[in-house]
Amino acid sequence: MGKEKRKAGKGFGKVLIPPNLDKSFDFEELAKGSSILVACVIGQDGVAIADFSICLTYDELISKFEYLKAVTDIVFHPSQIYLARRRQLEHGKGLLTLTPKSYRQACGLADESDGEIIFNWWTLPELKKSQPRSYIFGGSRIISELSKPLINYSDDRFPVICHAVPFKADDQEISYAHLLFTVSFDPSQVVKQREICLLERETQTLIELFIPNAENATVDIRKLRDYCLNQNHDEGKHKSRLFLTILGMTAREAEYLQLRLLEVVKTNEAKLGRRDQFGQRYTLDFILEWKNRRANIRSGWIIEEGSNIPRLTTCYPL
């Protein structure tokens, strides 16, 4: 007897499923929340060369890797579901990522304001501009290929990527894995809920606005030349690798990047970030074109306590 076809129902539309998936892969089970994708990136000399992935039910995942339960409980908590609902209403359909501070540090993207866990909502337009092995997808091609169809699959669920969860595999040299699954927007439909204590979560609405006093903003050329575009900097080399791979830019283009940043900070709206002991933070994304290439760039800004001058804190391609 053939498998019964899914009938059209509320919230479902025609979705383009990646054509190169293995025939045994059940996309609908993943989309409906019946399974969780565990994906690992196998690298060599710092370069991703292959993906290793497996789909498990929640019970299978916890029985095999009990220590992952705390990770999934964070996402199944109502506070995270309400966060995702708010982000979708404000910014459009997308997915939620949970990223440990240690993983952002390993990717050279950490900020001094980061908590232990960083929550981000990525919209479809942002994901379409991202590279297949972007850190958004944990460097995993299969997560990249599945993310956009999962977003479009249903209006009632949203995809989640949990970055760099601890992972132990006897037959693989893997230290961590990334999880991809979907969660219902209705907390009452989420079966696995636990009372947890979050280490850190985003609570401030990402309001779109122009950065105050942007006409006097400063971009220290050394931040770009000696850090973001410097392949020899211990932390900045990760950002410089992105600039070189995606745009073909090196430290020689620091002045051009500086000029573009000083332009867009005046003309583009930014997202209001958190206020901490250092000052008020903002995130500003823009399109950067260089020669025959273009990329979506994320820049971080701060107006420090006791100052009214916006200053660039970070900059990297998505």
pLDDT single digits (tens) 239-276: 888 898 889 999 999 999 999 999 999 988 888 888 88
pLDDT score at 190:
61
User: Residue 94: pLDDT band by 50, 70, 90 thresholds?
Assistant: very high
Share of the chain above pLDDT 70, in %: 79
pLDDT score at 166:
64
Average pLDDT, the chain: 79
Torsion of CA 238, 241, 242, 248, to 10 degrees: 160
> Between residues 219 and 18, which one has the greater pLDDT?
219
User: Residue 16: pLDDT band by 50, 70, 90 thresholds?
Assistant: low
Q: Which residue has the tokens 């050329």?
A: 221
pLDDT score at 168:
53
User: Residue 318: pLDDT band by 50, 70, 90 thresholds?
Assistant: confident
pLDDT score at 103:
78
pLDDT score at 2:
41
* From 44-48, 199-203, 287-291, the region with the lowest mean pLDDT: 199-203
pLDDT in tens, 155-182: 889 999 988 776 555 444 455 788 999 9
Average pLDDT over every residue of 88-101: 89
Average pLDDT over every residue of 96-118: 79
pLDDT score at 117:
80
SS3 string of the chain?
A: CCCCCCCCCCCECCCCCCCCCCCCCCHHHHHCCCCEEEEEEEEECCEEEEEEEEEECHHHHHHHCHHHHHHHHHHHCHHHHHHHHHHHHHHCCEEEEEEEHHHHHHCCCCCCCCCCEEEEEEEHHHHHHCCCCCHHHCCCHHHHHHHHHHHHHECCEEEEEEEEEECCCCCCCCCEEEEEEEEECCHHHCCCCCCCCCCCCCCCCCCEECCCCHHHCECCHHHHHHHHCCCCCCCHHHHHHHHHHHHCCCHHHHHHHHHHHHHHHHHCCEEEEEECCCEEEEEEEEEEEECCEEEEEEEEEEEECCCCCEEEEEEEEC
pLDDT score at 157:
92
> Between residues 309 and 5, which one has the greater pLDDT?
309
Average pLDDT over every residue of 123-127: 90
pLDDT score at 72:
74
Average pLDDT over every residue of 272-286: 87
pLDDT in tens, 215-231: 999 999 999 999 899 88
pLDDT score at 28:
87
Longest dimension (CA), the chain: 72
User: Residue 302: pLDDT band by 50, 70, 90 thresholds?
Assistant: very high
